[in-house]
């Protein structure tokens, strides 16, 4: 059966062809990316697990340790968020919480719910709903932008006190890289695998 790929920018319909692993299929009309060539679900699961572990590290360990006038404070992600809120920066606090905690948590949780069963060759429960949710969450994926914000904040603080980077910062960096790499996988592969498994079950 012929498989179709529709450009989400201009609605042009294409026939699906195989693309090399690091390649991208582009729309013939608007040249924007149609789908990616990386279809290895096992690798995608591995990257998702890495990102989840990094997420836990980022939320558990201090981002930086500050020493000033004999006092030592450990700045965790949570403390950075509550501090921004207390200092009359509620918008910053909400943006930090959504992009660094809520959005990655949702995305990684949903991906695991789909990828673990798919890799074990069973069709995930509520597959269509989860895929739709992930699509809706897409605009919130901008961890990269906020990593920059964290770096700027650390540099600013370094001028005020003696700062030592912590494991939390390492966690944020790894999580950012892993989430960015997840974007290079072909999500259509999840639909095709679920389809195959659905047919086998019938």
Q: Among 10, 21, 91, 152, indicate the residue that binds Zn ion (CB under 5 A).
A: 10
Q: CB-wise, 34 or 114, nearer to Zn ion? A: 34
Is residue 27 a contact residue for Zn ion (CB under 5 A)? yes
Q: CB-wise, 29 or 129, nearer to Zn ion? A: 29
**Tokens linked to 94:** 């909400």
Q: What is the largest CA-CA distance in the chain?
A: 71
Whether the CB-CB separation of 198 and 187 falls below 8 Å is answered with: no
Residue 28 CB, shortest distance to Zn ion, in Å, is 8
Candidate ranges 27-35, 50-58, 65-73, 183-191; the one touching Zn ion (CB under 5 A): 27-35
Q: Among 3, 6, 21, 29, indicate the residue that binds Zn ion (CB under 5 A).
A: 29
Candidate ranges 11-19, 88-96, 107-115, 179-187; the one touching Zn ion (CB under 5 A): 11-19
Q: Among 6, 21, 30, 105, indicate the residue that binds Zn ion (CB under 5 A).
A: 30
Q: CB-wise, 9 or 191, nearer to Zn ion? A: 9
100-122 burial, b at 16+ Cβ within 10 Å, e below that, comes to bbebbebbbebbbbbbebbeeee
d(CA 164, CA 58): 15
Residues 6+ apart with CB under 8 A from 157: 64, 66, 75, 163
Is residue 167 a contact residue for Zn ion (CB under 5 A)? no
Residue 29 CB, shortest distance to Zn ion, in Å, is 5
Candidate ranges 20-28, 61-69, 105-113, 133-141; the one touching Zn ion (CB under 5 A): 20-28
Burial of residue 174 (CB within 10 Å: 0-12, 13-18, 19+) is: middle
d(CA 177, CA 182): 9
Residues at the site binding Zn ion, with contacts judged by CB under 5 A = 7, 9-10, 12, 27, 29-30
């Amino acid at each position: 059966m012929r498989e179709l790929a529709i450009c989400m920018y201009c609605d042009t319909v294409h026939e699906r062809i195989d693309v090399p692993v690091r390649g991208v299929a582009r729309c013939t009309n608007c040249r924007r990316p149609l789908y990616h060539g990386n279809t290895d679900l096992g690798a995608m699961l591995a990257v998702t697990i890495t990102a989840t572990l990094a997420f836990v590290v980022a939320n558990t360990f201090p981002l930086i340790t500050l020493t000033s006038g004999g006092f030592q404070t450990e700045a965790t992600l949570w403390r950075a968020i509550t501090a921004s809120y207390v200092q009359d920066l509620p918008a910053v606090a909400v943006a930090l919480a959504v992009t660094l905690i809520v959005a990655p948590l949702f995305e990684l949780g949903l991906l695991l719910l789909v990828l673990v069963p798919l890799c074990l060759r069973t069709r995930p429960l509520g597959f269509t709903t989860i895929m739709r949710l992930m699509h809706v969450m897409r605009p919130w994926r901008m961890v990269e932008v906020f990593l920059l914000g964290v770096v700027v904040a650390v540099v600013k603080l370094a001028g005020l006190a003696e700062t030592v980077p912590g494991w939390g910062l390492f966690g944020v960096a790894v999580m950012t890289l892993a989430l960015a790499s997840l974007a290079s996988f072909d999500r259509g592969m999840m639909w095709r695998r679920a389809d195959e498994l659905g047919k086998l079950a019938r």
